[in-house]
């Protein structure tokens, strides 16, 4: 098996490994399209999962089932499937705590059950999808058939970008007519905009600056655009809301100081929902006044995207029945296995016209 791996912090390279051994409930997948994620960039260049060596990257894929273990019921070689970014161990004890995203029984970068981020297994615990063959554990619970009506492009976007942006919306607990701010409108933020609209938000502020992101944010449902280069984002939101602020703020971009903005622009009793992957500092500041000296009833939540079969099948239906077209976010198309590296470097460099690349294999 050949794959694009993290060699050490700050360095990627190609590695050759033995074909992964699959357990009785696992599957071996041959990817037909993959996409790099901003999180792969954090992993390699910020070293957020530690100094991994020869760990194959990638967690967004659509592929063909190559081989299944003898206990796999619903998938067979030749099936076209979405592989979710998050692949919990569904019979792990921690599942009973209601947090599948953190439930894994193989040890990863932390050495105990119920680890935060445990089910973010690709790269951290098992090799990722940037390989000509890779293993998916508990295939019946983690894979989803990609129906003919749903394109490969949409399948790849569902695996991570849609489930993440929508999770930002879920944790924001949006009610009909709410004023929602989405901080950052890369592919994750764009899906948060789309999800906020689907969830009944009244007014949706999209915060970003690059013209093609702004255009798509409007298409997905933003009613107002704020460029954070045009002055303080909080002041701009306050001015446009008659100093009321937002019912909910979803964080999908920015650095550690973005939490200050989010808290300061949220109404008392409102929700702050983070899906950003903070990776540069050890702590995040909280503004005391904005937090009502600790008594403002503002809820701060941060979540890893849900994975698993059921989640994927639900999102597939949203595309299949015309609620959402995430493939509009694909701005760059690559062909061939070797171009996975180019797509990852593109994701790191983030040229102004980039939204999301895809690589056809
Ligand atoms: P992008 O880099 O494509 O987009 C970031 C956005 O943030 C851009 O719109 C950018 O603006 C905006 N931004 C930058 N600085 C600020 C600021 N100070 N205030 C407001 N907006 C700002 O990121 P992605 O969409 O690819 O990913 C977003 C995050 O989600 C990443 O950290 C990624 O790792 C994480 N992620 C988390 C997952 C989870 O499960 N929780 C899963 C997948 C990804 P501009 O338009 O100017 O570029
Ligand atoms: Zn990701």
The model's pLDDT over 166-188, given as tens digits with 9 standing for 90+, comes to 999 999 999 999 999 999 999 99
Within 8 A by CB and 6+ apart from 321, the residues are none
Residues 195, 82 share a domain:
no
Instruction: Note the pLDDT of residue 106.
Output: 60
Domain that holds residue 183: 164-302
Q: Whose CA is nearest to atom 11 of ligand 1?
A: 208
Q: How many domains does the chain have?
A: 2
- ipTM (interface pTM): 0.98
Residues 178, 134 share a domain:
no
d(CA 145, CA 147): 6
Q: Which of 285, 302, 319 is the last residue of a domain?
A: 302
In the structure, which protein residues have their CB atom closer than 6 angstroms to any atom of ligand 1?
Answer: 37-39, 42, 160, 164, 183-189, 207-210, 213, 228, 233, 252-254, 258, 275-277, 304-305, 350
Residue 345: phi and psi, rounded to 5, are: -65, -40
Helices (H), 135-202: 139-142, 152-157, 163-172, 187-198
Task: Show the tokens assigned to 13.
Answer: 């390279």
Q: Tell me the HSE value of 236 on the side-chain side, using a 13 A CA sphere.
A: 18
Residues 61, 110 share a domain:
yes
Residues 247, 215 share a domain:
yes
The CATH number covering residue 23 comes to 3.90.180.10
Q: In this structure, are residues 40 and 58 in contact, taking their beta carbons and an 8 Å threshold? A: yes
Residues 227, 117 share a domain:
no
**Which residues are placed with Cβ below 5 angstroms of ligand 2, an ion?**
37, 39, 160
Residues 124, 49 share a domain:
yes
Within 8 A by CB and 6+ apart from 122, the residues are 58, 59, 85, 87, 128, 129, 134
Q: Which of 263, 287, 302 is the last residue of a domain?
A: 302
Interval between CA 269 and ligand 2 midpoint (Å) = 30
- Could you tell me the CA-to-CA distances from 269 to 159, 175, 295, 347 in Å, in that order? 32, 13, 10, 36
Contacts 24+ apart (CB under 8 A), 46-49: 46/9, 46/279, 46/280, 47/9, 47/10, 48/277, 48/279, 49/109, 49/123, 49/124
d(CA 161, CA 319): 13
Using 50 as the pLDDT threshold, list the residues of the chain that sit under it: 108-114
Residues 278, 312 share a domain:
no
Instruction: Note the pLDDT of residue 107.
Output: 53
Parallel, antiparallel or unpaired: strands 61-68 and 80-83? antiparallel
The residue to mutate among 191, 252, 350, having the most atoms of ligand 1 within 8 angstroms of its beta carbon, is 252
Residues 251, 149 share a domain:
no
Residues 198, 110 share a domain:
no
Residues 216, 109 share a domain:
no
Residues 284, 137 share a domain:
no
Residues 119, 60 share a domain:
yes
Q: Which of 302, 324, 339 is the last residue of a domain?
A: 302
The residue to mutate among 61, 119, 169, 208, having the most atoms of ligand 1 within 8 angstroms of its beta carbon, is 208
């Amino acid at each position: 098996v050949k794959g694009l791996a993290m060699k050490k912090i700050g360095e990627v390279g190609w590695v050759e490994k033995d074909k992964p051994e699959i357990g009785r409930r696992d599957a071996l997948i041959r990817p037909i399209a993959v996409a790099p994620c901003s999180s792969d960039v954090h992993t390699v260049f910020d070293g957020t999962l530690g100094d991994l060596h020869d760990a194959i990257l990638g967690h967004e894929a659509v592929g063909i089932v190559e081989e299944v273990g003898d206990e796999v019921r619903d998938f067979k070689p030749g099936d076209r499937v979405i592989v979710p970014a998050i692949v919990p161990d569904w019979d792990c004890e921690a599942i009973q705590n209601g947090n599948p995203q953190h439930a894994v029984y193989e040890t990863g970068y932390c050495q105990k059950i119920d680890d935060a981020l445990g089910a973010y297994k690709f790269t951290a615990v098992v090799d990722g999808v940037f390989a000509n063959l890779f293993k998916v554990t508990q295939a019946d619970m983690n894979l989803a058939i990609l129906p003919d009506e749903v394109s490969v492009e949409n399948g790849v976007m569902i695996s991570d970008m849609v489930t993440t942006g929508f999770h930002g919306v879920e944790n924001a607990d949006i009610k009909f007519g709410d004023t929602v701010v989405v901080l950052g409108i890369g592919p994750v933020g764009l899906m948060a905009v789309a999800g906020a609209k689907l969830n009944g938000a009244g007014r949706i502020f999209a915060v970003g600056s690059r013209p093609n992101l702004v255009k798509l944010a409007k298409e997905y449902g933003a009613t107002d655009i704020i460029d954070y280069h045009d002055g303080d984002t909080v002041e701009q939101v306050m001015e446009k809301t008659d100093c009321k602020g937002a019912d909910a703020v979803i964080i999908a971009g920015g650095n550690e100081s973005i939490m200050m903005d989010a808290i300061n622009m949220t109404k008392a009793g409102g929700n702050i929902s983070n899906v950003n992957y903070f990776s540069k500092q050890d702590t995040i500041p909280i503004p005391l006044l904005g937090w009502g000296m600790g008594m403002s009833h503002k809820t701060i939540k941060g979540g890893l995207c849900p994975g698993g079969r059921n989640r994927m099948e639900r999102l597939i239906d949203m595309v299949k029945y015309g609620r959402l077209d995430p493939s509009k976010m694909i701005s760059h198309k690559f062909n061939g296995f070797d171009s996975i590296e180019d797509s990852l470097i593109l994701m790191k460099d983030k040229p102004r016209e980039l939204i999301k690349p895809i690589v056809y294999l």
